[in-house]
């Protein structure tokens, strides 16, 4: 079993070398540009994210138990801070100019701003688990109950590294949000199919319905289209079953949520969504 110092050193070195490789790839001409673009979405991006987030946790635990896990997290924090300083110093043109971090520091104070943004890092393992679920829990439902298929790369990708002037602190946290937002949005889209397929019944709380219909539009449906919404909580189970019969008839190719593009028609023909079956 490695010492904790070794775990810290090896983890830190692996993370910084990995970051250096990612910076080097786009500089390798046209082939490098293609590889860089490939790494920015879908499964390749998931592997990159796992390398920098979950892999150190598992490695630290395997090499030195729970102490190794804690040390690996410390190494990740150190790697982010070192990378931030180096990236900012190599982009000095933007270092003193207008930046998001400077504006927010003025709004809430430097200590509060930095403490808060680091506090959000607790969510990283949560989003990583959600991403794993999107790969391993949802796909069988495509085959089992004919849920729509999604091109996950259209949802889970990163591009803010292309934004001019985004460096160091701003860049790393904007990339985190870039990935996180795609993961969450794809998860919400998948859950729309789950909810409308198995449980198309409005909640008894009007407030909950109003809050949740932002992410689950079928709760309210489309004005003027009665069958586009879940049944009211004051209706009967027969009404709910009848709605399911109408929205999910036997033999339907794609059993998508009510407002999914797969249910739209163009000149009387089914319209396939991007990435749909």
Question: How far apart are the C-alpha atoms of 242 and 252, rounded to whole Å?
Answer: 16
Q: Which residue has the higher pLDDT, 96 or 194?
A: 194
Structural domain count of the chain:
2
18 found inside a domain:
yes
Name the phi and psi angles at 232, rounded to 5.
-70, 155
Is 80 exceeded by the pLDDT of residue 268? no
146 found inside a domain:
no
Q: What is the pLDDT of residue 264?
A: 73
* Mean residue pLDDT across the chain: 92
What are the pLDDT digits (tens) for 230-262? Answer: 999 999 999 999 999 999 999 999 999 999 998
Name the phi and psi angles at 270, rounded to 5.
-60, 140
Q: 193, 276 in Cβ contact below 8 A?
A: no
Q: What is the pLDDT of residue 95?
A: 86
Q: 231, 243 in Cβ contact below 8 A?
A: yes
254 found inside a domain:
yes
What are the pLDDT digits (tens) for 129-162? Answer: 999 999 999 999 999 999 999 999 999 999 999 9
Q: What is the pLDDT of residue 271?
A: 40
What are the pLDDT digits (tens) for 47-60? Answer: 999 999 999 999 99
Last residue of one domain, picked from the residues 53, 70, 90: 90
Q: What is the pLDDT of residue 15?
A: 98
111 found inside a domain:
no
| Residue 276 binned pLDDT confidence (cut-offs 50, 70, 90) | very low
Last residue of one domain, picked from the residues 90, 107, 128: 90
* Residue ranges making up the domain that contains 52: 1-90
Name the phi and psi angles at 65, rounded to 5.
70, -155
Q: What is the pLDDT of residue 1?
A: 67
List Cβ neighbours of 100 (8 Å cut-off, separation of 6 or more).
166, 170, 174
Q: Which segment of 80-84, 142-146, 218-222 scores lowest on mean pLDDT? A: 218-222
Last residue of one domain, picked from the residues 90, 110, 128: 90
Q: What angle do CA 93, 99, 101 make, to 5 degrees?
A: 130
Q: What is the pLDDT of residue 265?
A: 54
184 found inside a domain:
no
Q: Mean per-residue pLDDT for 79-88?
A: 96
This prediction has a pTM of 0.89
207 found inside a domain:
yes
246 found inside a domain:
yes
Question: How far apart are the C-alpha atoms of 132 and 208, rounded to whole Å?
Answer: 28
Element (H, E) at 35: helix 29-39
Which among 262, 177, 79 has a CA at the least distance from the CA of 71?
A: 79
Q: What is the pLDDT of residue 176?
A: 95
218 found inside a domain:
yes
């Amino acid at each position: 079993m490695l010492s904790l110092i070794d775990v810290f050193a090896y983890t830190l070195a692996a993370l910084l070398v990995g970051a250096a490789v990612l910076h080097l790839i786009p500089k390798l001409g046209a082939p490098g540009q293609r590889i860089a673009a490939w790494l920015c979405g879908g499964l390749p991006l998931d592997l990159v994210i796992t390398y920098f987030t979950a892999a150190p946790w598992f490695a630290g635990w395997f090499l030195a138990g729970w102490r190794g896990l804690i040390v690996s997290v410390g190494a990740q924090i150190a790697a982010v801070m070192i990378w931030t300083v180096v990236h900012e110093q190599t982009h000095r043109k933007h270092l003193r100019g207008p930046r998001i971090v400077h504006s927010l520091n003025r709004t809430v104070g430097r200590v509060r701003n930095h403490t808060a943004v680091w506090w959000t890092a607790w969510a990283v393992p949560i989003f990583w688990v959600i991403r794993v679920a999107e790969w391993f829990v949802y796909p069988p439902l495509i085959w089992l109950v004919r849920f729509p298929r999604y091109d996950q790369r259209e949802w889970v990708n990163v591009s803010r590294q292309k934004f001019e002037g985004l460096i160091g602190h701003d860049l790393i946290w904007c990339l985190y949000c870039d990935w996180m937002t795609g993961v969450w949005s794809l998860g919400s889209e998948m859950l729309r199919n789950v909810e409308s397929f198995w449980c198309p019944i409005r909640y008894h709380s009007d407030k909950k319905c109003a809050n949740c219909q932002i992410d689950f539009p079928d709760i309210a449906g489309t004005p003027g289209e009665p069958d586009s919404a879940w049944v009211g909580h004051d209706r009967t189970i027969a009404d709910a079953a009848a709605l399911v019969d109408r929205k999910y008839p036997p033999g339907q190719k794609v059993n998508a949520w009510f407002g999914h593009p797969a249910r739209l028609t163009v000149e009387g023909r089914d319209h396939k969504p991007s990435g749909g079956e």
